């Protein structure tokens, strides 16, 4: 309930946020009992060789408001289990969730100084990234901030910045699509969390053979999506996070119009009867859907809105053409293909420039045991599961001689030659 109250996600998403957090704790704790070092046989019979891991040291975690419980545990559960200390800055929009997580850590008996939290704005995050004692920074958030952190921290020898950022995600709906699955997946991908997910879809790339039917069905549902009190189970979309973000969504909608969009659904300003009683001052916004002819120079198809702002793009030809459009973005986080043709699905799998790819599913959602992260402007793919272990540990290649003699690899002579008198 606190997740839904503080960041506006409808209640099933609030529950899922917390469930994902304890799933990650469960995975991290169980995974810690698995061996992660690799035995690497030496080419010299008398030697043993293997790779072992050790903690990097102090890990700074900077997390976003849209998953105020789950994402912190993506970072912190693994960092702590692998032997690091953590200093965490939760998003300034969700300090209540941050305080509760900190209290839970204290109640669980985490030793003083092993887990640390600092509340604040950008200056608090900068205090973490600028501190020479912080060896690693795990960041999830906007591309602008993430690129600044990556440039600052990553440029220092011995330091690592693992950043997961935004996306301009697309769903390819081919002529072989099951339209029931296509419409369902697109609605989920575009409007869950009021479009405020880094994996939300803002581009629907639809084959001309099914375009008209898909458009009609998608628009009909977008017109009726239930926006309302996030604590009510019949709500599909809650409010946006804050007034500044509502204004950002407005600017993206205006940009699409300016660039020639044909607006199909405009519920940016909701009807009075849609807004819950006594919440008229809330940050309410509804779906905005438009169609536009694809052009590589359109900003509205390249810049992330992070809201319920969706473009319909019609394409003709084969799946290769769809992938040209799909990949024409500086981001590479998540995407999906809807098709009953396995060849089309496999082509998407092999050629989509993504870190998270789905077939016949929404392009939102992640299971904790799978890596989560993107490519290109979306990040370097470290923030969850096994890949987070790579970020918070260092590897040492260890070789031990079991013989009383020294024998070198590659045939290198171990003889010591001295000058003759």
Name the pTM for this structure.
0.92
Average pLDDT over residues 162-190: 96
CATH topology assigned to domain 169-367: Aldehyde Dehydrogenase; Chain A, domain 2 (3.40.309)
Distances from the Cα of 395 to the Cαs of 86, 269, 277, in angstroms? 19, 53, 57
Q: Which of 33-37, 199-203, 366-370 has the highest mean pLDDT?
A: 199-203
Please state the domain extents for the chain.
Answer: 1-34+57-165+379-391, 169-367
Best CA proximity match to 100, nearest among 27, 19, 18, 25 = 18
CA distance from start to end of the chain = 87
Residue 237 Cα distances to 46, 269, 270, angstroms: 65, 14, 12
User: Who wins on pLDDT, 236 or 149?
Assistant: 236
**Residue numbers annotated as active site:** 164, 198
Q: Are strands 356-359 and 309-315 parallel, antiparallel or unpaired?
A: unpaired
Residue 418: other Cβ atoms inside 10 A: 5
Kindly report, residue by residue over 74-104, the tens digit of the pLDDT. Answer: 999 999 999 999 999 999 999 999 999 999 9
Beta bridge partners of 312: 204, 291
Share of the chain above pLDDT 70, in %: 98
pLDDT value at residue 292: 98
Whether 421 has a pLDDT exceeding 80, the answer reads no
- Distance from the Cα of residue 311 to its chain's centroid: 21
Return the pLDDT at 382.
65
pLDDT value at residue 381: 63
pLDDT at 387: 77
pLDDT at 35: 65
Q: Check: CATH 2.40.180.10 for 1-34+57-165+379-391?
A: no
The residue that leads in pLDDT, 41 or 19, is 19
- For 139-201, where are the alpha helices, taking DSSP H only? 143-154, 179-191
More reliable by pLDDT, 366 or 140: 140
């Amino acid at each position: 309930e606190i997740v839904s109250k503080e960041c506006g996600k409808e209640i099933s998403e609030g529950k899922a946020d917390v469930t994902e957090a304890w799933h990650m704790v469960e995975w991290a704790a169980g995974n810690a009992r698995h061996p992660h070092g690799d035995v690497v046989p030496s080419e010299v019979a008398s030697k043993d060789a293997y790779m072992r891991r050790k903690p990097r040291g102090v890990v700074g975690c900077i997390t976003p408001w849209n998953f105020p419980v789950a994402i912190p545990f993506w970072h912190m559960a693994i960092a702590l289990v692998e032997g690091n200390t953590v200093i965490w800055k939760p998003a300034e929009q969700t300090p209540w969730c941050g305080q509760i997580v900190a209290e839970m850590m204290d109640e669980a008996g985490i030793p003083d100084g092993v887990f640390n939290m600092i509340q604040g704005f950008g200056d608090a995050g900068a205090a973490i990234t600028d501190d020479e004692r912080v060896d690693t920074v795990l960041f999830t958030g906007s591309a602008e901030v993430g690129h600044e952190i990556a440039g600052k921290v990553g440029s220092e020898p011995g330091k690592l910045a693992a950043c997961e950022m935004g996306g301009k995600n697309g769903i390819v709906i081919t002529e072989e699509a099951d339209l029931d699955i296509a419409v369902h997946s697109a609605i989920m991908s575009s409007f869950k969390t009021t479009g405020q997910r880094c994996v939300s879809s803002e581009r629907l790339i639809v084959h001309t053979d099914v375009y008209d039917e898909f458009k009609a069905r998608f628009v009909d549902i977008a017109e009726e999506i239930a926006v309302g009190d996030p604590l009510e189970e019949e709500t599909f979309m809650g409010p946006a996070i804050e007034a500044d973000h509502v204004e950002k969504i407005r600017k993206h909608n205006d940009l699409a119009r300016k660039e020639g969009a044909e607006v199909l659904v405009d519920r940016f300003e909701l009807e009075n009867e849609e807004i819950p009683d006594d919440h008229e001052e809330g940050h309410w916004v509804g779906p905005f859907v438009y169609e536009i002819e694809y052009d590589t120079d359109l900003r509205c198809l390249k810049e992330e809105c992070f809201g319920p702002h969706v473009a319909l793009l019609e394409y003709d030809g084969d799946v290769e053409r769809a992938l040209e459009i799909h990949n024409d973005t500086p981001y590479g986080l998540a995407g999906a293909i809807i098709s009953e043709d396995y060849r089309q699905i496999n082509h998407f799998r092999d050629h989509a420039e993504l870190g998270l790819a789905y077939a016949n599913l929404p392009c939102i959602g992640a299971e904790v045991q799978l890596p989560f992260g993107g490519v290109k402007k979306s990040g370097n793919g470290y923030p969850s599961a096994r890949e987070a272990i790579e970020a918070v540990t260092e590897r040492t290649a260890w070789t031990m001689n079991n013989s009383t003699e020294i024998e070198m690899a590659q045939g290198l002579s171990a003889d010591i030659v001295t000058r003759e008198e």
